[in-house]
A and B are shown apart, each in its own frame.
Chain A
Amino acid sequence: MTINRALVATFAVAFVLAYAGTATAYHTRFVSDNCNYASPTPTSYITRDGSATVALRARHEGYQWAGGCWNDNDRDDSPNDPTTDAGTGGEGGDCSGFTFKVWREALDTSDASYHQWGMLRYVHGPYTAAAFKAGSGAPNVTASKSSLIKMDALASDGHIGLIYAVNPDGSDQIIEAKGEAYGTNIWTRTYRGTSSYSGVRRTGWSS
């Protein structure tokens, strides 16, 4: 009986420590199990439709604060990550990492050329939402909100989303990495009219 109690006790202690230790160290192993650090492929041009395709492949995938790696299985492989921890290794980009990859930008902010990053390439890029809002970086400029079209962006100090389509009621369909509880998807939003949001455009589209 004493021995059984000892066995149960050590099991319980080890279980708790292992579970807690795991939870503290990381939440999922999505990045370590799936993502890579491959070099991007330089391309000679980009189109808005091509970038829409990049964005659509991230649709229904997860959200990870400071993340930038996702697959294409239409589900969040690391749901319910702690929202305040950038190091949980979960699937998805955050709003600015998602925009960076969809706009196919370079890590060097002075480089306006085009870089195709694989879905599973773990990269966030150098820009926050606020930096995009300010038009920081060689490829990016601020733009009048009324002039924005597909794959231009609306950015606030804390968030950025890409225009996917315009609705008959004057709202927009925005494709965005919205948050851990939302993942990445297309939603109706009114960012265009909201004064906390500014217009941002990546330059150099072929069409």
Chain B
Amino acid sequence: MRLFRVTHRARALATVGATAGVVAGFATFSVATGAVGSGTSTPRAVFDVTHSPPLLTVSGEDAELVYDVHCAAPGVEDPEAGCDVAGTAFVRAGNETAFQAVPLLRDRSAGQMIARVPAALSEADAFEYYAELDSDMAESAITLPPGGPTAPTVSRRLGEAVPVVDLGRHPFGNARRAGERVAHASWGDGPANAGLEAGRNLGPIGASAFDVDTAGNVTILDHAHRRLLRWAKGGRSPSQVPVSINGTIADLAVSDDGSLYVLETTSRDGRTPLVRRFDDAGRELEAIESAERGPAQIRIGPDGPLVLQRPSHQWMPVSVGGIPASQAVQRRSARSGRTLRSGAEVVMLRQDRELRVALVARGSIARAWRVTSETPIGEVQLAEPVDGRFVVVLRVYDDRSDEFVILLLDRHGLVSRTTLDSSDWAETAPLGRFRVVGRSLYRLGSTPAGVFVERFDLEVR
């Protein structure tokens, strides 16, 4: 009888325990995975603006500021309903202090708002502008670029004497031989391997960025393994430096003091992506929120790292003299071009089959080029001065092929032109495939076998 009572009690307790365990198991799983039904079915307001700035213009071009506006009222799921948007562009000549208000007029057929810059301003050597757009229905306002009058977009006019380099029709399939391999890692999960992201429905993504310091040491960001692979100059195998990053496509810049800046491009819960700074042992020193939603590139400027932001297309400092910059400071300090370590600024604009590029010093265009091509021009990977000349790396493409073209320019025009195969089997940071250090051009490439960095002499002497 006693035995029966114990067994009965034990069974009861076991039932209680099992039930509690099952409930706790489900509950723990739900909490751990965030599987709480949110039930958010009401569409929220949409208000977003994009604008491709006319950073470099030539005589005779229409000076129009065109803004693509996407707006929808909250609670309305019909995507064609749209909503009313009002806007004003504020424009001034580059040497004036007061902005002139120019109304943005809606072109409903194209979903755009357009301001025509007065001729007196557009014909100046440079004009500066920003725009304010708001929608009562979307209950929000947008200033673009976000620094407004303190950091407007600058549009500069190219003079008549700018050399024009015509690339003609690109002859695909004539790429030069490979450069000197200075780093190589096979795909895999070993200590000397670089990783590919796991996942279905993804093309290969791995080793998203690299940089080379002035001593010639190479660092590859092995983002899938959340680490850096570092090759000492002339070294055959890399050392590994773990870093605390989120493991998605990121860009990398190494500063002169050895600090490593990783620009992430994803973030959680509507925050902007982070720039993380590490010391050379991989210890995280700080994490800085970038100012806009779409940072695309990080490079070292005269006072620290600069980030190319979207949708403003401006370069913003994220740290000045070692002090992290708040988002407000980033916006106020934005520039339309990339400021180099020398203090000069590189401005570029690719339109259809033409690239315009200018080197700006002390506020004025010091040198500029127009590069035209019968073959479509894709992205510009690099544009920097080297020893009195200027190197541009751009991609040309058609519907079957693509290659990189390296242009060496001087004040008269084209000095040399070299073609490299694209070697981009794995996806990387979009604008992170090339670096110039001294008189060497470095390229991050990949094949189904692995990732590599190769070096080319620029032959600028």
Contacts and interface: CB of A to CB of B under 8 A. Distances in A.
Given A71-B40, A193-B395, A195-B402, A94 B431 contact: no
Given A171-B296, A173-B50, A194-B424, A65 B399 contact: no
Contacts of A57: 43-44, 46, 72
A72 B376 contact: no
A129 interface: yes
26 contacts: A11-B18, A14-B17, A15-B24, A18-B24, A33-B37, A45-B80, A48-B111, A49-B70, A50-B79, A50-B82, A53-B71, A57-B43, A57-B44, A60-B270, A71-B40, A71-B41, A74-B44, A75-B268, A77-B36, A119-B41, A145-B376, A146-B376, A169-B348, A181-B197, A181-B199, A187-B294
Contact of B28 (A19, A182, A189): A19
A65 B200 contact: yes
B399 A199 contact: yes
A156 interface: yes
Given A28-B34, A73-B40, A171-B296, A56 B18 contact: no
A150 B77 contact: no
Nearest to B394: A170
B404 to A, nearest CB: 9
B299 to A, nearest CB: 13
Contacts of A79: 33-34, 268
Given A14-B17, A53-B46, A181-B247, A78 B34 contact: yes
Interface in B157-178: none
B304 interface: no
Contacts of B201: 65, 94-96, 129, 158-159, 179
Interface of A: 3, 6-19, 21-23, 27-30, 33-34, 43, 45-54, 56-57, 60, 65, 71-80, 83-84, 86, 94-96, 116, 118-120, 129, 144-146, 150, 156-159, 164-171, 173, 178-183, 185-190, 192-196, 198-199, 207
Contacts of A180: 199
Contacts of A199: 399
A156 B203 contact: yes
Contact of A173 (B14, B26, B200, B294): B294
Contacts of B109: 207
B215 interface: no
Given A30-B37, A179-B201, A53 B422 contact: no
Contact of B25 (A19, A45, A183, A196): A19
B342 interface: no
A189 B202 contact: no
Nearest to B36: A77
Contacts, number: 280
Given A18-B24, A168-B313, 20 more contacts: A10-B17, A14-B19, A34-B40, A47-B111, A73-B44, A75-B268, A83-B198, A84-B198, A119-B43, A169-B380, A173-B310, A173-B311, A179-B197, A179-B202, A180-B199, A181-B246, A181-B266, A185-B266, A190-B430, A193-B402
Contacts of B422: 194-195
Nearest to B23: A18
A170 B380 contact: yes
Task: Please provide the 9 A-B residue pairs with the shortest distance between their CB atoms, ordered closest to farther.
Answer: A193-B378, A14-B21, A18-B25, A33-B37, A10-B17, A49-B111, A170-B350, A28-B35, A188-B296
A7 B21 CA distance: 10
Contact of A72 (B42, B269, B380): B42
B38 interface: yes
B37 A54 contact: no
**Main SS of chain B's interface residues?**
loop
B28 A51 contact: no
A57 B26 CA distance: 31
A192 B395 CA distance: 10
A7 B35 CA distance: 28
B199 A7 contact: no
A195 B401 contact: yes
Nearest to B352: A146
A207 B21 contact: no
A29 B350 CA distance: 46
A124 B71 CA distance: 26
B400 interface: yes
Nearest to B55: A168
B437 interface: no
B78 A116 contact: yes
Given A170-B394, A188-B294, A14 B22 contact: yes
A179 to B, nearest CB: 5
